[in-house]
Chain A
Amino acid sequence: MAAVMGYADRRSVRVGERIQFKVSCEGAPAYKATIVRLLSAQTFEPPHAPKFRFDVMPAPVNGEHKGRHHPIPAGSYAEIPTHPKLARLTTCTFAAFVWPTLPGSGEQAILGTVDGAGGLGLHLDGEGRLALVIGGQHFALPRKLRPRRWCFVAAAVDADSDTAILYDREVELYQFDALAGAHRRFEHVPIPAPSERPFRIAAAHEGARAIRHFNGKIERPRVLGRALTLFDLERLALAGPSGPAHVDAIADWDFSRDIGSEIVSDLSHNGLWGRTVNLPTRAVAGSNWKAERHDWRAVPEQYGAIHFHDDDIYDALWPTAFEVTIPAGWKSGTYACRLEVGDAEFWVPFFVRPRKGEAKARSAFLVPTCTYAAYSNFRSRVEGRWSELYHGRVTVLDRTDFLMEEYPDLGSSTYDPHRDGSLTLTSSMLRPVTNFRPTGRVYKFCQDMFFIAWLEHAGIDYEVVTDDDLHAEGMAAIADYACIFTGSHPEYYTTGMLDAVEAFLRQGGRFMYLGGNGFYWRTAYHPTLPGVVEVRRAGQGFLASDVERESHMSFTGEVAGTWHRVGRPPNLIAGVGMVTQGFDASTGYRRTEASRDPRAAFIFAGVTEEVVGDFGVLMGGAAGYEIDRHDVALGSPRHSLRLASSSNHTNVYDISVPSFTDLVPKPTEAVPDPIRADIVFFETPGGGAVFSVGSIAWSGSLSWNNYDNNIERITRNVLTRFIDPAPFQMPESQ
């Protein structure tokens, strides 16, 4: 069956700038590309939902393109450029500390230059035994390495005597079970032939490809210029992974340096520096971790390991199929490159901003691209055992969802385990993303198109800004607008993004939080690499046993976890914070007495109903999916008005209340806190204001009854006032 997939080099592009598209096509000689401006998504039907609409843009790239298949080079490793010192190794020792996660699951390279029958390497063979690989021959110890146990491994090759010693010894701290080890001397070992291949850590070569990826951690790999004796090897094992360069070092890579980067530092005098490929996980606990600190910046020597995975993927590195320079006449908004072959299609959305300094609209839609990235290729929705339980309904999937099964190298989201069971901590947009599209499940981008459809229907002048822009430019990205409004689920926020929104508010900006579960997880963009985010789920130990000791971001060093855990709850900026989730049914909100406060009169102008939003295409109401509650104890401003609250949420919402810490919840347990979504309004000291709805499902009610309903009216009332320059006044009594 023919398939086409693609991605772009960026999500946000200004008028006059260029965006490049990378496309792979399989099973057909050609595919069709069309650049469109999206005006809505493919969701439900009128009269309660907008029809699927887009305008075909006059782009020269529209039309047939020759199809070429490109693989996705998944799997992380480190590579050191070819150097004579590493190319002509004869008598030498390879050594490292390793923590294998999948020993016995195919041959895995620890370090070396092995390429087919050439090269020299220290590997785990297919059985999980330490093996010296020379000229295609394997010399293996009899013992299989045990999974998730730190082990010092080494091979000392003596070219003068044609012998080699293989050595492994477990070096686990804090464990009472016996430490295993093995060593053996091999005779008639061939002399290694020179290799022009780059030296690799955690992968071998197959031509230009990387294969035999190592799964697990590697720490302090070294190449030494003599054949160490058994006694030397024993000393090296017991000396641990930290300390200065070995006296015999040809190369001595110390992963505790430059943790926040792709750089692999060499402590030897040879300067054999390298770089990591496909973002293996750094800032992970090493064999010498002492349970004193969780911050790798304080004790980098205890975080000198890198966790490699054979399914890590940062950049698919496909060649550019075509590029588009955004012409002057294109309006700021949501666009996509639609790729079609046979009856298959694939969408690559992108967002167009005005030229710098040429913003004209009073309001801007803040597209939650950081959240899109964290969720990109959300594999657990297809493969996960618990997804149906939490959603309270049978899972609905389509052909695009199954591309992740057909092409496993597409990788995972930050919700999914790696193949070795460790949690995925980084997620990239530089690969085809199956759940970033205006079709399929009405969630995230597809759902956010309800806002675009509403803006277009209402004739409201708007422009778009993405999270990527907000993080990169700070408040300057939104300073030209009187009001910014969010998507349905701006869950992932970096410090820079939160600071920018706060600064905007302090200077009189107006902020409409039109979603649920927002500002929830601290997130990090990579300081130099585009299109990738990091999330570490500290405080949620069920997801992986290492979340606490590895609870600082590798990209930034910041303490990780929810913004609540970090000490800056979402209530501070939004007036509400996440309570729970449930996807089976939504409800409406009942107005409170506070909604009669004159400060809120503009919000409810023309609204006669006591209950609002008891309708909608997202499970029947505006309050649902993931919901947030007003709570002064958690930082909701004391002067904030709780205008309306939902109630009577189903018991699927009960399940998630104690957070997600029980994989098998007990739905009959008493729920400690009121489960409700709150509509909240408050003013800020600089003349600004915040309006929050605390519910993902809000957007699904806008178009109800051909946009004639109280949710649309409330949203429009607030936006109309929020773009009015008249400053808001803080109430006198607080």
Chain B
Amino acid sequence: MRDRAGNLTIKVDPAWIDLAQEFRRKPFGGHTPALQELLAVMRTTPIEGRYFLWLSKPHTEWTLARMSETRPLKPILIGPTFTSLEEAEWHVFKLRWEQLTGQRLAIN
């Protein structure tokens, strides 16, 4: 979790592979409290530089993008392009996992 100043109050442990596997199985919908807590960390990073999805074709194709590091925010399209929101969500999860743990996720 993060406190009101935005600082992390937990350390993400690369051994929490079970949480990654749970998310892979079901990116949207009910999660265990531990996974929900991890997602709260991942989803509350500063908006500058944060990943988001660029709607490249109406509701059928999404391109991975990042916000610029400074305001006013600009979209920076970095790819890849997805045709499934679940796949896009998993891709972003893996990128954030690596940022938080310093280690690449060993599962696909």
A82 at interface, CB cutoff 8 A: no
Interface size on B, residues (CB 8 A): 40
**Chain B window 30-62, contacts with chain A (Cβ cutoff 8 Å), 1 for yes, 0 for no:** 110100110110011111001111110011101
Residue in chain B with minimal CB distance to A619:
B28
CA distance in complex: A406, B72 (Å): 7
Q: Return the contact of B55 from the options A386, A440, A650, A666 (Cβ within 8 A).
A: A440
Q: Is B20 an interface residue (CB 8 A)?
A: no
Q: Does B19 contact A (CB under 8 A)?
A: no
Q: Are A402 and B52 in contact (CB under 8 A)?
A: no
B68 (CB) vs chain A CBs: closest residue: A405
Contact B31 A651 (CB under 8 A): yes
* Nearest CB in chain B: distance from A378 CB, A: 14
Is the CB of B29 closer than 8 A to any CB of chain A? yes
Task: Flag whether B104 is at the interface (Cβ < 8 A).
Answer: no
Q: A408 near B: Cβ within 8 Å?
A: yes
Cβ of B29 and Cβ of A584 under 8 Å apart?
Answer: yes
Contacts of B60 in A (CB 8 A): 45
In angstroms, Cα B6 to Cα A529, docked, is 41
Residues of B within 8 A of A402 (CB): 73-75
Residue of chain B at shortest CB distance from A385: B47
Min distance, Cβ A310 to any Cβ of chain B, angstroms: 15
B92 touching A394, Cβ below 8 Å: yes
Q: Output the nearest chain B residue to A663 by Cβ-Cβ distance.
A: B4
A607 CB within 8 Å of chain B: no
- CB contact between A397 and one of B29, B43, B75, B88 (< 8 Å): that residue: B75
Interface code B70-98, partner A: CB below 8 Å = 1, 0 otherwise?
01111100000000010011001000000
Residues A397 and B53 in contact, CB atoms below 8 Å apart: yes
Measured between C-beta atoms, what is the minimum distance from A657 to chain B in Å? 14
Q: Are B44 and A664 in contact (CB under 8 A)?
A: yes
Is the CB of A343 closer than 8 A to any CB of chain B? no
Task: Verify if B18 is at the interface (C-beta below 8 Å from A).
Answer: no
B105 at the interface (CB under 8 A from A): no
Is A137 interfacial (CB 8 A cutoff)?
A: no
Contacts between chains A and B (CB distance < 8 A), count = 99
Q: Does any Cβ of B come within 8 Å of A15's Cβ?
A: no
Q: Are B44 and A394 in contact (CB under 8 A)?
A: no
Q: How far is the CB of B9 from chain A (nearest CB, A)?
A: 9
**Nearest chain-A residue to B74 (Cβ)?**
A405
Pair A398/B33 contact, Cβ less than 8 Å: no
Considering only CB atoms and an 8 Å cut-off, how many residues of chain A contact the other chain?
39
- Which A31-77 residues have a C-beta within 8 angstroms of B? 42-45, 52
Is residue A668 contacting chain B, with contact meaning CB distance below 8 A? yes
Beyond A405-B74, A406-B72, A667-B37, whether A394 also contacts B58 by CB under 8 A is no
Which residues of A in the span 88-127 have a Cβ within 8 Å of any Cβ on B? none
Cβ B33 vs Cβ A44 within 8 A: no
Q: Which of A42, A383, A664 contacts B58 (CB 8 A)?
A: A42
Residue contact A44 to B44, C-beta cutoff 8 Å:
no
Interface of B is mostly: loop
Q: A442: CB under 8 A from chain B?
A: yes
A444 to B83, CA, bound (A): 24
At the interface, yes or no: B100 with Cβ under 8 Å from chain A? Answer: no
- Within A306-325, the residues touching B (CB, 8 Å) are none
Smallest CB–CB gap between A115 and chain B, Å? Answer: 28
Q: Is the CB of B73 within 8 A of A648?
A: no
Q: Are A397 and B52 in contact (CB-based, < 8 A)?
A: yes
In the complex where A385-B46, A651-B31 touch, is A395 in contact with B85 (Cβ < 8 A)? no
Contact residues in A for B52 (Cβ distance below 8 Å) = 388, 394-397
State whether B74 touches A668 (Cβ < 8 A).
Answer: no
Chain A residues contacting B45 (CB-CB under 8 Å) are: 385
Q: Do A389 and B28 form a contact, CB below 8 Å, given A394-B89, A395-B52?
A: no
Task: Give A52 to B59 CA distance when docked, in angstroms.
Answer: 12
Cβ–Cβ contact B72 & A650, under 8 A: no
Across the interface, do B37 and A650 meet the contact criterion of CB distance under 8 Å? Answer: no
- A439 at interface (Cβ–Cβ under 8 A)? yes
Within 8 A of B (CB), among A585-611: 585
Q: How far is the CA of A665 from the CA of B43 in the complex (A)?
A: 12
Residue of A nearest to B73 (CB): A405
The complex places the Cα of A585 from the Cα of B31 at a distance, in Å, of 11
Tell whether A650 pairs with B29 under 8 Å between CB atoms, given A396-B53, A439-B58.
yes
Expressed in whole angstroms, the minimum distance between the Cβ of B36 and any Cβ of chain A is: 4
A65 to B32, CA, bound (A): 56
Kindly list chain A residues whose C-beta atoms are within 8 Å of the C-beta of B36.
651-652, 667-668
Q: Are B31 and A650 in contact (CB under 8 A)?
A: yes
| Nearest CB of B to A444, in Å | 16
Q: How far is the CA of A389 from the CA of B31 in the complex (A)?
A: 13
User: In whole angstroms, how far apart are the Cα atoms of A440 and B62 in the complex?
Assistant: 12
Closest to B91 in A: A394
A43 to B62, CA, bound (A): 14
**Given A397-B55, A619-B28, are A383 and B43 also a contact pair (CB < 8 Å)?**
no
Chain A residues with CB under 8 Å of B85's CB are 393, 396
- Judge if A541 is at the interface, Cβ distance under 8 Å: no
Q: Quick one: closest B residue to A668, CB to CB?
A: B33
One of B28, B44, B92 near A386 (C-beta < 8 A): B44
Residue from the list A44, A45, A584 in contact with B28, Cβ < 8 A: A584
Mark out the residues of chain A between 275 and 295 whose CB falls within 8 Å of any chain B CB in the assembled complex.
none
Q: Which of B33, B51, B55 contacts A667 (CB 8 A)?
A: B33
Nearest-Cβ distance from residue B64 to partner chain A, whole angstroms: 9
Interface status of A136 (Cβ within 8 A of chain B): no
A396 touches B55 (CB 8 A): yes
B59 touches A43 (CB 8 A): yes
Whether B62 pairs with A396 at a CB distance below 8 angstroms is: yes
Write out the residue numbers on chain A whose beta carbons fall within 8 Å of the beta carbon of B43.
388-389
- From B58, which residue of chain A is reached at the shortest CB distance? A42
Task: Give the distance to chain B from A599, nearest Cβ to Cβ, in Å.
Answer: 35
> Which A residues, 358 to 394, have Cβ-Cβ distances below 8 Å to chain B?
382-386, 388-389, 392-394
Q: How far is the CA of A585 from the CA of B27 in the complex (A)?
A: 10
Task: Report chain B residues within 8 Å CB of A398.
Answer: 54-55
> Which chain A residue shows the least CB distance to B59?
A44
A177 to B1, CA, bound (A): 35
Check A394 against B51 for contact (C-beta < 8 Å).
Answer: yes
A-B contact pairs, 30 of them (CB 8 A): A42-B58, A45-B60, A383-B73, A385-B46, A385-B47, A389-B40, A393-B85, A394-B52, A395-B53, A396-B52, A396-B62, A396-B85, A397-B52, A397-B53, A397-B54, A397-B55, A397-B75, A398-B55, A402-B75, A439-B58, A585-B28, A648-B30, A650-B30, A650-B31, A651-B31, A664-B4, A665-B40, A667-B36, A668-B33, A668-B36
| Residues of B participating in the A interface, judged by any CB pair closer than 8 Å | 1-4, 6, 27-31, 33, 36-37, 39-40, 43-47, 50-55, 58-60, 62, 65, 71-75, 85, 88-89, 92
4 smallest CB-CB distances across A and B, nearest first, come from: A398-B55, A585-B29, A667-B36, A405-B72
